[in-house]
Structure 1
Amino acid sequence: MTLYDAIGGEPVVRELTKRFYALMDALPEAKACRDIHPQDMTRSQEKLFEYLSGWLGGPPLFTDKYGHPMLRYRHLPAKIGTEEAAGWLLCFRQALDEVVEDKAVADMIWPKVEALGQHMINV
């Protein structure tokens, strides 16, 4: 069983990304991260959903559409420092805790998310 299946598949991954972006808009601690995103985050939300789908072992929606993720390279135009990464990670952790019912599965996902967030720092 993949992590994608373990958390509940497409509906849960979609809800996770929706909650993540809602938190980015709501949490003052995420302001620096929010500020490097477009005003309308609809496309960002869809791309994250597509990425997470494949990253968690589900359908490779992102790579089918855009090729290899090359996340760090794709994010180079945005200056991502420790404050931006911390805000992103805060939103993701809270969304993960709120949306994923199986806490053991959420705890298995978290170290991978944390490493990804730290990897994106480019300043």
Structure 2
Amino acid sequence: MTNSNLPVYGESDGTLQAVGGLSGLQTLVETFYRIMESTPEFRPLFDMHPNNIELTIDKLVSFLSGWMGGEKLFSKKYGPISLPQAHAHLVVTEKEKAMWLNCMAAALDELNYPEELKAYLLPQLEFPAERIRQVSAARHN
């Protein structure tokens, strides 16, 4: 593959292709939740999730598919989404936000994604994470 054929992060489905398409995204999200469940520093975040982790995994894969420029699977399967409202019942502080992002960084590291992808993706994920934190702060303060 020449450089001109490499996916461009943030353009069309370039980010989704960079993680390996839908199957790569599925592996990333499964790894993310496995790390969250089995790592003591991330476990409190895992415990905030519903017991049906398979549904949680599917919802995140479905959301990220569209967010990364691919098919908008979440709306097809679950209807419209407002991330802040979907998480509004939770208390999400800077601590939980950082845990989530650090857990995603650990999953990206474990799966040996390129540094360039991590340098692009993690700051992009910080935007929805921060919005969730803001709505939580407004609701729970």
Whether these two folds match at TM > 0.5 is yes
Post-superposition offset of 1:40: 3.2
Q: Is the 8 A contact 2:83 2:128 kept in 1?
A: no
- Residue 70 of structure 2 aligns to a residue whose secondary structure is coil
Post-superposition offset of 1:120: 1.3
* Separation (CA, whole Å) in 2 of partners of 1:23 and 1:37: 14
Post-superposition offset of 1:34: 1.7
Q: How does 1:33-44 map to 2 (within 5 A)?
A: 33-44=45-56
TM-score (norm 2): 0.78
Q: Is the 8 A contact 1:31 1:87 kept in 2?
A: no
Alignment counterpart, residue 42 of structure 2, candidates 21, 30, 34? 30
Q: Is the 8 A contact 1:53 1:60 kept in 2?
A: yes
- Unpaired runs of 5+ residues, structure 1, are none
Alignment counterpart, residue 108 of structure 2, candidates 75, 96, 99? 96
Q: 1:21 to 1:92 in 2, by over 3 A?
A: same
Q: Amino acid of the residue matched to residue 6 of structure 1?
A: A
Aligned to 1:80: 92
Instruction: Name the % identity.
Output: 31
Q: Is the 8 A contact 1:100 1:106 kept in 2?
A: no
Consecutive aligned runs of 4 or more in structure 1 exceeding 4 Å deviation: none
* Separation (CA, whole Å) in 2 of partners of 1:30 and 1:16: 16
Q: Amino acid of the residue matched to residue 59 of structure 2?
A: K
Moved more, 56-65 or 81-90: 81-90
Post-superposition offset of 1:113: 1.0
Q: Is the 8 A contact 2:101 2:126 kept in 1?
A: yes
Post-superposition offset of 1:11: 1.4
Give aligned pairs, total: 123
Q: How does 1:1-123 map to 2 (within 5 A)?
A: 1=7, 2-99=14-111, 101-121=113-133, 122-123=136-137
Superposed CA RMSD: 1.6
TM-score (norm 1): 0.88
